[in-house]
Structure 1
Amino acid sequence: MSHLEPPSLAKKSRRPLQHYYRAAVIIAVCGMFSYGGYSMFHLYQNAKISQIKAQKLSAQALALSASLSEETAMNQDLNQALADKNKSLVALNQRIDDMETVLGIEPADDSQTITQRVDTAAINSAVRATLFQLIPNGAPTPNVQLTSGFGTRIHPITKKRKRHDGLDFAAKIGTPIYAPADAVIERARNSNYGYGNQLTLNHTMGFTSTYSHMSKFKVKQGEFVKKGQLIGWTGNSGLSTGPHLHYEIRFLGKPLNPRPFVKWNIENFDSLFKQEKNVQWASLLNTINSMVAMQVQLTGDEHHDLGITTVNHTQSTTNQDDF
C-alpha cells in the first residue's frame, strides 16, 4: 500500500507558498504604484518646466512684437521724413533754378551739387549787391523831374553852344540829396560863382560823382558816407537860372552820361554794361567776383570755386525808356 500524507500536513505546506505569492504580489503592486507615482511626478515636473519655458517664450514674443511695432512706427516716421526731405529738395531745386534764371547764370550741369549751385547763386547775388553798393546808381534826388540831359546844348545864360557834362534836376531849394553809393567826400567847396556850392564824392573803382548849386552841406571833406546817406540839400548857388541840382558822374576823370546809372537797378542789371562803353566792365566784374568769392570761401566751405563766372553782361537786355 502507498503511504499517504495527512491532510493537515498538506495544508501546512501550502500556507508558506501562499504567503510568498501574496508578498510577491504586494511587492509588485507597490512597485508598480511607486513607479507610476514617480512617472507621474516626473511628467508633472516636465510639464511645469515646459509651462515656465512657454511663459518665457510668450513674454519674449510679446517683447519682440512690441519692438517690431516700435521699429515699424520708426520706419514710418523715417519714410515720412524722407518724403518731406525729398519734397523740400525738389522745392529747393526749383528755387535755385528760379534764382539762376533771375541772375542770368548758365543752367547747372549734373556734376554740380546743390551746395555748389547755392554758392554760385550766393556769389552772384553778392556781386550784384556789392556793385550797387560801390558804383553810383539811382537818382540822388528821388522823384524829382529831369530838365536837362547829358551832351551838347545851348547854355541857358550865355546862350552859347556848350557841352553839358551832367543831368539837371528841377529840385526846389532844400530838397534832400542822398549818396548814390558808398564814397569818401573828396571836396566840399563853397562858392558864389560857376557851379556854386559843390560836393565831390570819390567812389571806388575810379568812379566819382559831383553835386552842384547846392544850398547846404551835410558832410565835410574826408568823411566816409554810405549809399543812401543824406549829404546835403539842393539850392540855387553859383551861375544858375533857378533852383536845381546839377549831377555828374566821372570815370578816371572822364565825364559819363549819368542817365544809365540813374536808371540802373536789379531788374535791368546788364543794361548799364551795354550802354556805357567807356568802362572795362569785364575786368571790373572779375575783380569784384574774386573779392566776393574770397569772402564766401572764408565764411563757408573751404572748397568753394573761386573761378565762378558771376555776370553774363553779354546777355541781351531791353533798353529802358529815356527820361
Structure 2
Amino acid sequence: MENSFYFSFSTHRRSYSLRLNRRKTQWTAMIIVVVLIALIVSLKLLVNVNSKQSESMFSLLGNVKTLQSNNESLFQANLSLSADVGQSNELFEAVDARIGLLEQLVSETDQEAEQLHNPDYFSRIELASLSYKHRLNMLNWLPNGKPLDYHRISSSYGKRLHPISLRRSKHRGIDLSARNGTPVYAPADGFVEYTRKNHNEGYGNMIRITHGLGFMTLYAHLKTLKVKNGQFVKKGQLIALSGNSGASTAPHLHYEIRFLNKSLDPKPFMNWHIGDFDSIFHIVKDVPWDYLNLQLHNLSTLPAPLLSQLESQLKAPSELKDTSISTEALKETFIPIAA
C-alpha cells in the first residue's frame, strides 16, 4: 500500500478513484524532466544559431550597402571620365579640323607659288596668310552676306505666281520681308550705277550697284535712298531704307544678284562667309570661279600707283574713257587662261 497513491473525487451523481503506483510515477516524472531539459537545451541552441545567422545577415547587408556605395562612386567616376573623354575628342576634332584647313591653305598657296614661277619666294606660312587675304579680298569685291535684317523670305528665286498679275513667271531675285524703314547695306565694294526715286510703278524706288569682276546687285521697292549715281560704296555701307514703293503688296526688299547681266539665286551668296568659303563654288555653277579667283589674285598684285589709278576711275566711271591707264599695262596684269 505504501507504493501506491490513491486519488478520489466525486460528483453529485457518482464517485471516482484513481490509484497510482509510486515507482511508476517517479520514472514518469524523471522522463518528463529529461524531456524538458532536452527541449530547453534545443531551444537555446536554436536561439544561438538564429542569433549568429542574424549577425551574419546584418553583416551581409552592411557589405551590400558598402558595395552599392562603391558602385555609385564608380558610376559617377565613369560619367566624369566619359565627359572628359568627350571633351578631349571634341578638342582633338577641332585641332584636326584646323590642321586640315592649314594643310589646305598651304596646298593652295603652293599652287599659287607654282603659277607665279617663284615657289621659294614666300615661306609656307606667308603663302597661307596670302591665301587668307585673298579670300577676304574676294568677300570685299563680290556680294555676300545679308543686305538687311529681314523677318523671312516671302518669295524665293525662280518660277512663281506673281502676287499682282497672277501670272506664272520667273522671279529674278529674292523678296526679303522686313519692317518698313529697315536699313539696307552694300554686300560688297562697288559703285552706284543707277538710282531711281519718287517712283510708284514696277520696282519703285531702286538702286543698282556694279561690283568687281562682272557682278551687279539690285535693290527695289525702297523707301529712302542714301546714295547717289556714280558714288563709290564700301562693303557694309548704308545705301537705303527698305519700303513698299512700286508694285508691292507689303514692305519688303526685292534683292537681285547678276553676273554678266545673268540673274543668279541670291540665297547662296547671302549664306557665303569666311567660315564657309568654298561651298558656294559647288552650289553656284553659272560662275567661272577658277577664272575669277585668278583675276582677283592678279588685281591684288597690281603696282600701288596703277591700282590707285584704277580705283580712282572706279569712283568716277563716267570718265573711264579718259583714263591714262594704258591697255598694254592692264594686259600685263592678267594671266591668260588656256582654252
Same fold (TM over 0.5): yes
Structure 2: gaps of 5 or more residues: 1-95, 111-118, 305-339
Contact kept, 8 Å, 2:243 with 2:251, in 1: the verdict is yes
The residue matched to 1:100 in structure 2 has which SS?
helix
Residue of structure 2 equivalent to 1:24: none
Is the aligned partner of 1:200 residue 2:198? no
Contact kept, 8 Å, 2:154 with 2:177, in 1: the verdict is yes
- 1:276 deviates by 1.1
Letter paired with 2:143: P
Change (3 A) 1:152 1:245: same
- 1:179 deviates by 0.2
- 1:148 deviates by 1.2
| Higher-Rg member (1/2) | 1
Residue of structure 1 equivalent to 2:146: 139
- 1:257 deviates by 0.6
Provide Cα deviations, 1:136-166, integer angstroms capped at 9, x if missing partner.
Answer: 0001003532221100000111111011011
Report the structure, 1 or 2, having the larger strand content: 2
Structure of greater relative contact order (alpha carbons < 8 Å, 6+ residues apart): 1
Moved more, 281-290 or 198-207: 281-290
Number of paired residues?
202
Whole-Å separation in 2 of the counterparts to 1:292 and 1:167 = 32
Please, which of 189, 201, 204 is the counterpart of residue 182 of structure 1? 189
Please, which of 260, 271, 275 is the counterpart of residue 279 of structure 2? 271
Whole-Å separation in 2 of the counterparts to 1:106 and 1:217 = 42
The residue matched to 2:227 in structure 1 has which SS?
coil
Change (3 A) 1:114 1:254: closer
Change (3 A) 1:227 1:106: closer
Identity value in percent: 42
**TM-score for the superposition, normalised by structure 1:** 0.58
Letter paired with 2:127: T
Q: CA RMSD in A?
A: 2.8
Please, which of 267, 283, 297 is the counterpart of residue 289 of structure 1? 297
Letter paired with 1:137: N
Contact kept, 8 Å, 1:135 with 1:203, in 2: the verdict is yes
The residue matched to 1:205 in structure 2 has which SS?
helix
Whole-Å separation in 1 of the counterparts to 2:212 and 2:108 = 29
Whole-Å separation in 2 of the counterparts to 1:107 and 1:179 = 30
Structure 1: gaps of 5 or more residues: 1-93, 297-323
Whole-Å separation in 2 of the counterparts to 1:206 and 1:236 = 29
Residue of structure 2 equivalent to 1:170: 177
Contact kept, 8 Å, 1:170 with 1:244, in 2: the verdict is yes
Whole-Å separation in 2 of the counterparts to 1:254 and 1:106 = 30
The residue matched to 1:279 in structure 2 has which SS?
coil
The residue matched to 2:221 in structure 1 has which SS?
strand
Please, which of 225, 234, 239 is the counterpart of residue 242 of structure 2? 234
Please, which of 212, 216, 219 is the counterpart of residue 211 of structure 1? 219
- 1:172 deviates by 1.2
Is the aligned partner of 1:222 residue 2:230? yes
Whole-Å separation in 2 of the counterparts to 1:104 and 1:193 = 53
Contact kept, 8 Å, 1:99 with 1:121, in 2: the verdict is no
Q: How does 1:33-52 map to 2 (within 5 A)?
A: none
Q: How does 1:15-94 map to 2 (within 5 A)?
A: none
Residue of structure 1 equivalent to 2:102: 100
Contact kept, 8 Å, 2:106 with 2:128, in 1: the verdict is no
**TM-score for the superposition, normalised by structure 2:** 0.55
Change (3 A) 1:172 1:121: same
Is the aligned partner of 1:158 residue 2:165? yes
Contact kept, 8 Å, 2:244 with 2:250, in 1: the verdict is yes
Whole-Å separation in 1 of the counterparts to 2:186 and 2:249 = 25
Whole-Å separation in 1 of the counterparts to 2:149 and 2:168 = 29
Contact kept, 8 Å, 1:185 with 1:224, in 2: the verdict is yes
